[in-house]
Structure 1
């Protein structure tokens, strides 16, 4: 009986696959291939336009936000200046990435109810937008490189209201503001402007509601501002604490 058991064990061992080094061979070979084979150089995806914007890094600038948790540099260094560089101009395609960021914003049911009027300094459209600004905005916005009217499509193709249009437009503007900051530009949004003047100047259709105007450009010298605005420009930045703005945190 012992001999029979020994024979049986030997036969079973002969039938069993080798689960030792041979079983690991394909895995080892795969790892060796991945680690040992030279990789082909990665090709950089061609840019949609030749303009390559600078990529600012967080600095010790006192305007950089002091945050209670780490955030993106484009968030920490974003603020709304009034002193823009009046000599700065935008090369062809320089704003494409900015508004591509807006294009990919979130919206209710993907309705994408944002529209933009982009006007570069020196153009007829820029003059129309600047003329429609009100109050202190006219004192400084003319030095911006570009002015943008942010328009909400409040009606759909059937003429029904889109109640979240203004909210979604705000998301798009926030997206392009952060993209602009990541490309070395600054954005200052304004609500003080003559909406009817904008409607008339650009022949906006029913349902196209101008919500805000944004100035885009590079930082300029604060000495160019009136005294009252210069004080605002240099005042320390502040925000409410998280504990105040979060109502419930279960």
Structure 2
């Protein structure tokens, strides 16, 4: 049974300032919560229906340090940040911020995102990174919060396998000292590039794209060839197409 204070605390984590203050965030989903438990990320508590707990009894037993609290669907609805609540919600500790050093990026492909504003887009890009084996993403400070419940939901559990770092993008490119590929409307056709083994793929804001500063700092300007009349592509779609072409 949850107290009113506990319910209020979990509800507060829907807001960035309270997540930052507490160092905790929530993840919702009948599929997401088991993935987080399997990946051994720092899950503090799980709140779920009796039916969900019964179905996942063996998994929960493997994580004895995680406190499990049965709650009714009505309570889950109060806790949820989603229109349609799930059967399980987890409370997690945020990982400690990693120091951004050049050696973190050597020999790897990294996605760098500038001013992504939609939580669904950010979550989708994290999921895309996971699909293509990219283990880290760098976000500019003005990107939507990675721990926004809608972002976490959109990752479908990939947040457990992809590290998200935060820093200004243009100075980061200089620090990393690697080839960088800025997605623009007027760059070099991506089909002309060989498979990428090391470097940084840059994706910009949904409506404005990358800033002039970042485009200037990038070593390559790339574009997805357009065959039809669409003005632009969704940031997540663009990231998926570029990764599919440059990483396979």
Q: Same fold (TM over 0.5)?
A: no
Task: Choose between structure 1 and 2 for higher RCO, CA contacts under 8 A separated by at least 6 residues.
Answer: 1
Short-chain TM bin: under 0.3
